[in-house]
Amino acid sequence: MLTDQVAIITGAGRGIGRVIALTLAEQGANVLINDVDEESAQRVAAEIEQHGHESLAFVADVTDEAQIERMVQAALDKWGRVDILVNNAGITRDNLLVRMKEDQWDAVLDVNLKGAFICSKVVARPMMKARGGRIINIASVVGLIGNVGQANYSAAKGGLIALTKTTARELAGRGITCNAVAPGFIETAMTQQLSEEAREALLGQVPLARPGTAEDVAAVVAFLASSEAEYITGQVINVDGGMVM
């Protein structure tokens, strides 16, 4: 259980981030919902509060350090602590390598990798003072195996895995763990738009022969955020039905 813990989740207005937020709240955490879309963030925060848990919606761009400093301070002002950071915010700008524009590369690296760096850097300060905390990065199996048309996304997620390991080494002495969760083919609004042929091709790479769910990912995040995972750091846990295997 995460009773009275304080969690900040980036990109939590929809999709996997939303489900992670609801799952941590169900386990007793107070949750700051970050998103660039205010309506989405407010909707998830209201959903959490309807279930009797405390939440705060905060609009901030994860690539802007000043905005992230204000976001972390808002959590500290409201609850006096930050115990958990989930770096979930991410975007895609898919294209083949030879056709990829420089702005497509930069946008994905900025949000998916630089954003996690900034959020981790800012939240580490209060965590270090408290001598404890959990940083959980939402990576992807494509950061391990690559994917056609996703040179930018694969590079960002591979970089996020490396960042996870360095963060884990640097902050371990202060009782802070840092781990990554790498989802595979997860059923989301985006994957539901795939053609039947594309879905079958993806499922053919999954030994369990079904897509995962956002709840599958959230369950691993909740475990890593808990006291039961206090001796686990610097790890990458694939939630992929065996795809990478």
CA distance 187 to 20: 14
Residue 57 CB partners (closer than 8 Å, separation 6+): 32, 33, 35, 38, 41, 42, 44, 45
What SS3 class is residue 22?
helix
- Whether 231 is catalytic is no
Cβ(118)–Cβ(63) below 8 Å = yes
Helices 151-171 and 115-130, packing angle to 10 deg: 20
What SS3 class is residue 44?
helix
Q: How many CB atoms lie within 10 A of CB 129?
A: 11
Q: Of these residues, 153, 154, 164, 221, which one is catalytic?
A: 153
State the first-to-last Cα distance of the chain, in angstroms, to the nearest integer: 31
Distances, alpha carbon 186 to alpha carbons 20, 33, 149, 176, 206, in Å:
14, 22, 18, 29, 11
* Best CA proximity match to 185, nearest among 196, 197, 201: 201
Strand partners, 59: 35
CA distance 133 to 118: 16
Question: How many helices and strands, by DSSP H and E, does the chain display?
Answer: 9, 7
- Catalytic positions: 153
